[in-house]
Amino acid sequence: MSAASSSVPEIIVPAEAPARPERQPDRFPRAVVFGCAGTSLSDREARFFQAAAPLGFILFRRNVATPEQVARLTHDLRQAIGQPHAPVLVDQEGGRVARLRPPHWPEFPAARRFGDLWRHDPERAVEAVRANSRVLAATLLPLGITVDCLPVLDLPAPGSHDVIGDRAYSTDPIAVAQLGLAAAEGLLEGGVLPVVKHMPGHGRAGVDSHHELPTVDAAEADLLARDFAPFRALRYMPLGMTAHVRYLALDATRPATLSPVVLGEFIRDRIGFAGLLFTDDLSMQALPGAIEDRAAAAIEAGCDVALHCNGDLDEMVRVAAAVPPMSRHAARRWSIAEGIRQRSQQPADPDRLTQWRDMMLAGG
């Protein structure tokens, strides 16, 4: 285990829940977002979350059944840590990546639908994707979900794995930047924070990072000119997510999530991203080593918050013991992001926006 992880006391799940005070203002949350196992919290999970004090939570298909159940779960998650404004994240991109699905929730188009429209009518495509994000936000916010891991700013390359595929808007960096910006702004207008992903670019990956580590051998100049361009255009967004990808021209030994060089020199300096930086899911098999060592190494490398999604409580206990409280810089980045979210919300008519989006996608 790394030096940083050994300095953090072990998290032990208490046998009984003590009183649940509000988190003290001078106590930063632990630099981690956790998943949970099912559609409701077990007593053991609730006790663990209270003891671990994570920044927030993320939901997956295993966690959703009905709107009433999801709203109750997000309430209970926040209550467990005494933080009514703790972030609850979801991957609701549209297309094949959607945790909330019919019949209880609407189906959303894949990103590529908007990119196809952009090729012959960029203005209409931008308006369609903005309307789509407003509807996404109107779907999520009543459930207590305040962060959507969208937009995907990756640029698929010839021969790359389909793990990104139609989740990307286009192979044109200008289209991706314009559509990604509209998607992010639409979410913000609906009171939901966007997460730009996967920094600094997952589009060239030849394998699925859920199962193994992709290695990209493109030249630094090519990465800077093409892959990094959409992220540079959205560098002022409040939240971002790393890619579990190794770029030989940037750091020949470590994936971006674990690389101080990629995180510092390229994402922070060359791209200019100043927001809160999440890891991608630490449970993905692209990363080497034990789960607690992955978490500690990611924070040491420069990620602000580790993301552990699979809901395995034994793993979460180990991750919590390896991850420190958020740094002062990270806590300030989160405070700025939440402030932006609370100030950005505007009223919307989801039915009208859905009709408008569909009309534009149909060419009407």
Q: Is 251 tagged catalytic?
A: no
Catalytic residue chosen out of the listed positions 148, 154, 251, 280: 280
Contacts of 186 (CB under 8 A, 6+ apart): 129, 130, 131, 132, 133, 134, 136, 137
Catalytic residue chosen out of the listed positions 85, 210, 211, 329: 210
Q: Please state, in angstroms and rounded to a whole number, the distance separating the CA atoms of residues 118 and 176.
A: 10
Supply the Cα-derived Rg of the chain in whole angstroms. 20
Q: Is 85 tagged catalytic?
A: no
Report the amino acid identity of residue 208: D
Residue 55 Cα to chain centre, angstroms: 13
Encoding tokens for residue 104? 């209880």
Active site residues: 210, 280
